């Protein structure tokens, strides 16, 4: 059984103007996401600025999210690191805090070999009992999980059950699913490829778009699962200009800007992330309005 099917939100981490984490605001966002039909909450992912958090903050956000969600939907904790021992530590702590599953990005900067990836993921998985979703995003990490590597891990490590595929390479995803023969749960890691990945056997998306359009993102998957592929595809295509605007600068700069434009008051970004270029803000506003999102 999949950890979740549908649309999981890679939720932003709101900040106060002084740079501290704004937990009350995070709680409001979580409630809005659940009310909007979001099927899982992913805490401390890339979109949550996990790379700009101390370990204490990282774990505090996971603990708060678990408590706030209160088992209404699964909470998936981002606990990946480029140092295996750190990934083990964060994963073990997230399990103690009550997370339902883990999202483990490939070791970034190190550029591990495929043999190294197998050793890394196996070591982390053996240190916990929670189900694990591997996260493949080579554009950010410089490291690509090849299909055979992902399948080897899913077949040989009991609690490695899924992969968030954000390589953008549909041919690679097709090869993965052909080799997997049902042994791996596939999630789209790119909002512009939800329907193509569902068509290859995917079960959902871990989404940036869900932060500002939870119902629509959920519906893209739900309609597809109901067999309403035409309607699902139409909604996917309608969302593309907004998705493009959400990635016109590095994530999570645009999505946090978008939430502030909606009056959600999620606060500033932490350096080295910085405020969005004004021309891009105007583009983002335009596409939000075109998609039916109210901008203040």
Residue 269's SS3 state is: coil
- 258 vs 211: CA distance, rounded Å: 9
Is residue 64 annotated as part of the catalytic site, yes or no? no
Locate all alpha helices (DSSP H) within 105-146, ordered by sequence: 114-126, 138-141
- 25 vs 101: CA distance, rounded Å: 23
- 181 vs 160: CA distance, rounded Å: 15
Pairing of strands 6-10, 204-207: parallel
**Cβ neighbours around 37 below 10 Å, total:** 17
Would you state the structure tokens that stand for residue 68, as one six-digit string? Answer: 């706030």
- 116 vs 152: CA distance, rounded Å: 13
Is residue 158 annotated as part of the catalytic site, yes or no? no
Q: Of the listed 25, 64, 68, 135, which one is catalytic? A: 135
Would you state the structure tokens that stand for residue 249, as one six-digit string? Answer: 């600068």
The residue among 99, 100, 136 whose CA lies nearest residue 121 is 136
DSSP code of residue 15: B
C-alpha 111: how far from its chain's center?
21
Cα angle: 186, vertex 70, 54; to 5 degrees: 75
CA distances from 288 to 73, 187, 194, 268 (A): 27, 25, 19, 20
Cα angle: 26, vertex 211, 256; to 5 degrees: 75
Q: Of the listed 68, 164, 256, 264, which one is catalytic? A: 164
Q: Catalogue the active-site residues.
A: 135, 164
């Amino acid at each position: 059984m999949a950890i979740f099917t549908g649309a999981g939100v890679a939720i932003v981490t709101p900040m106060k103007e002084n740079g501290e984490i704004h937990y009350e605001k995070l709680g409001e966002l979580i409630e809005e996401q659940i009310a909007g039909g979001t099927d899982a909450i992913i805490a401390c992912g890339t979109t949550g600025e996990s790379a700009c958090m101390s370990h204490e903050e990282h774990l505090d956000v996971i603990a708060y999210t678990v408590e706030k969600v209160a088992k209404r939907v699964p909470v998936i904790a981002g606990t990946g690191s480029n140092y295996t021992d750190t990934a083990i530590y964060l994963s073990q702590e997230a399990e103690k805090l009550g997370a339902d599953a883990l999202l483990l990005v490939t070791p970034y900067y190190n550029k591990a070999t495929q043999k190294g990836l197998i050793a890394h993921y196996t070591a982390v998985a053996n240190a916990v009992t929670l189900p694990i979703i591997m996260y493949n995003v080579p554009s950010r990490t410089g490291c690509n999980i090849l299909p055979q590597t992902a399948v080897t891990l899913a077949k040989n490590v009991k609690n490695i059950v899924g992969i968030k595929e954000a390589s953008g390479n549909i041919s690679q995803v097709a090869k993965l699913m052909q080799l997997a023969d049902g042994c791996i749960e596939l999630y789209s890691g790119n909002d512009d490829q939800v329907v193509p990945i569902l068509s290859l056997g995917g079960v959902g998306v871990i989404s940036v778009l869900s932060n500002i359009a939870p119902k629509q993102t959920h519906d893209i998957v739900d309609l597809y699962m109901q067999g309403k592929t035409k309607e699902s595809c139409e909604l996917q295509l309608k969302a593309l200009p907004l998705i493009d605007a959400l990635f016109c600068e590095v994530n999570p700069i645009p999505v946090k800007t978008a939430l502030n434009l909606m009056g959600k008051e999620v606060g500033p970004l932490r350096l080295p992330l910085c405020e969005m270029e004004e021309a891009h803000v105007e583009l983002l506003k335009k596409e939000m309005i075109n998609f039916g999102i109210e901008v203040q």
